[in-house]
Amino acid sequence: MWNVWILAFAVAAAVGDAVWRKIPNKFVLAGLLVGLAYNAFHHQFLSALIGCGLGFAVGLAVFYFGAIGGGDVKLLMALGALLGYHRWFTAMEFSILTAALIAAVQVFRRRAARQVVHNMGEIARELIRFRPHEVINVGNAAMIRAPFGVAAAVGTFVALLVK
């Protein structure tokens, strides 16, 4: 039953992210608190706490470079608390693969491969300087973007099947 709850949480976050481009703070906070409480009751609090911390650290680093939004950082934390760190790693592996697939489909559908290669060079140049690109980031509405919540839901589903 717990896995069903986690999946329902991930799907609800994905729908919110896809439809409104927002993952409500209260919703994510509820997921985080429920995840920590459930895992504490089942003697897996440390795993949930580490998962939450990893979600925050990884999410904040990726957010700094403009690749995801703030709601995605909070979602990564909540999923860490719900899944624990072992399943969180699996979920993130498949989430990143799913996000890459979604991005590839969008790029080829818009025939923007040449521009994306150019943008990747620009981003790499800024990464070497350890700073975000001023224009090429998730905050720029002109960029090709995809809701990471959808990819996170797919990754969560796979993680729940695998372990």
| SS3 call for 116 | helix
pLDDT tens across 14-70, in order?
Answer: 999 999 989 999 999 999 999 999 999 999 999 999 999 999 999 999 999 999 999
CA 44 to chain centre: 22
Domain ranges of the chain: 2-162
| SS3 call for 108 | helix
0.85 surpassed by pTM: yes
pLDDT tens across 120-139, in order?
Answer: 899 899 988 888 888 888 88
Residue 15, φ and ψ in degrees, nearest 5: -65, -45
